[in-house]
Amino acid sequence: MNKRLWIFLGILILFVSLFIELGGLKIFLYASLLFLGINRLYLFLVPKYVNIKRFLETTQVFSTLPEDNFLHITNTSLLPVGYIFIRDAIDIHLAPRQSYPFLLTLKPRERQMLSYSFSGRRRGKFIIGPTTILFSDFIGWDEIEIEHDTRKAIIVYPTLFRLSGHKYKSMQPFGIIKNPMPIFEDPTLITGLKEYNAGDDIRRINWKVSARQGKFYINTYQPAISSASLVILNLASEDYDFHNKDYYIERAIEVTASLLRELFLLRQEMALVINCRIDNVDQVLDIELGKGESHLTNMLSHLATIEAAKNAPFRDILSKHLQGISWGVSLFVISPRLSHEIIQQLINLQHMGHSITIIQVGPEISRELSLWNIGFQSYYAEHEATLIQLTRL
């Protein structure tokens, strides 16, 4: 309530008590003052007994997929809470509006749950919250607004696409990628049985089947490879110097994320190296070889928040960050262009026992990157609805 009104009421009550002898009027004024005091005390105390907490099933979401956001509001006092207005702030990249309003009342000790859905509209790190609650007194003369820190950071992953048109290569035996050359067989992938012949490896004998059949049978295995892969993304800003630069940077990140997802589905080990900008600092992101869902999630979380590097040339990755990688690791290089110096560095890595795959992104198809004649795989990435088509250069 306005301070001037309080001053006016105080002067009025003082005047009546000193100069007017009407007892009924005095009682009315005193009762009014008591009511207004209780009204003011109520508005002062009630916000201390109203708590609000946010609950999210996950803080890491995929683009365009809806997620539920819950607000639990509790009245811990023995008094009812009149109408309160709640406004929950949300980043515009997570919802079509910047806040969600709610109007409700709370009984003594009552708990209510408020909810709405949001979805990531672009990759990045965004904030939900804070939440503000507007309390009003009994008669609507006065109000107070309290802000609750319910902030949560939401990571929106890059959009993932299926990859088509690429064949995986590796030097390493054992895995789940079928190998047309049966020089390596994976003992974890049994494809059948056959009778034992002289010269067969006795370690392949299936003793249980042999005992039942009364003669020796041996296991046969699926030839397979395990493609431990290092994905290298070039995000040097200077290499994206064409129209719609930001668009093609996003496309390059989506190709990288989709490739990592494909390798994950093949249960392969994978590593990631990117020259990029993180928290406004140019650096090289270097995630070591690993496998599994948590490893993929870690990579996608980094891909969600990186930006193009302003001063981190791509050549520095090959010269400083690819030393000592294990023999047989497949290299996937994603870039809009490659200099002759970088191509020579890749040739040197090929001579050291690594298969090389180049995936070109951007608006221009460079025939200079068609290096099949020296043993590289070379593709151009084209987005088609929910698919990334890798077209042979």
Fold observed for domain 46-157: Immunoglobulin-like (2.60.40)
Average pLDDT, the chain: 82
pLDDT confidence tier of residue 46, bands split at 50, 70 and 90:
confident
Please choose, from the candidates 74, 99, 82, 86, the residue with its C-alpha nearest in 3D space to the C-alpha of residue 132.
86
Say if pTM beats, i.e. exceeds, 0.85. no
pLDDT reported for residue 318: 75
Reported confidence tier of residue 214, pLDDT bands at 50, 70, 90: confident
Torsion of CA 339, 344, 347, 352, to 10 degrees: -130
Q: How confident is the model at residue 217 (pLDDT cuts 50, 70, 90)?
A: confident
Query: Is there a shared CATH topology between the 46-157 domain and the 162-170+226-392 domain?
Result: no
Structure confidence by residue, pLDDT tens digits, 68-111: 999 999 999 888 888 889 999 999 999 988 999 999 999 999 99
State the pLDDT confidence band at 16, using cuts at 50, 70 and 90: low
CATH 3.40.50.410, applies to 162-170+226-392: yes
User: What ranges do the domains of the chain cover?
Assistant: 46-157, 162-170+226-392, 173-225
Bond into 158 cis (ω within 30): no
Segment holding 144, helix H or strand E: strand 143-148
Q: How does residue 218 score in pLDDT terms, banded at 50, 70 and 90?
A: confident
Q: Which residue has the tokens 């668009």?
A: 247
Q: Pick the residue with more confidence: 176 or 304?
A: 304
Q: Give the distance, in angstroms, between the CA of residue 376 and the centroid of all CA atoms in the same chain.
A: 32
Residue 184, pLDDT > 70, answer no
Q: Report residue 243's pLDDT band, with 50, 70 and 90 as the boundaries.
A: confident
Query: Contact, 252 vs 123, CB < 8 A?
Result: no
pLDDT recorded at residue 144:
86
Task: Give the integer Cα–Cα distance in Å for 284 and 234.
Answer: 10
Averaged pLDDT, 374-380: 88
Give CA separation, 48 vs 44, 52, 111, in Å. Answer: 8, 11, 15
188 — pLDDT class (breaks 50, 70, 90): very low
Q: Average pLDDT in the 47-54 region?
A: 92
What is the share, in percent, of the chain residues with pLDDT greater than 70? 83
Give the rounded percent of residues in the chain with a pLDDT score beyond 90: 37
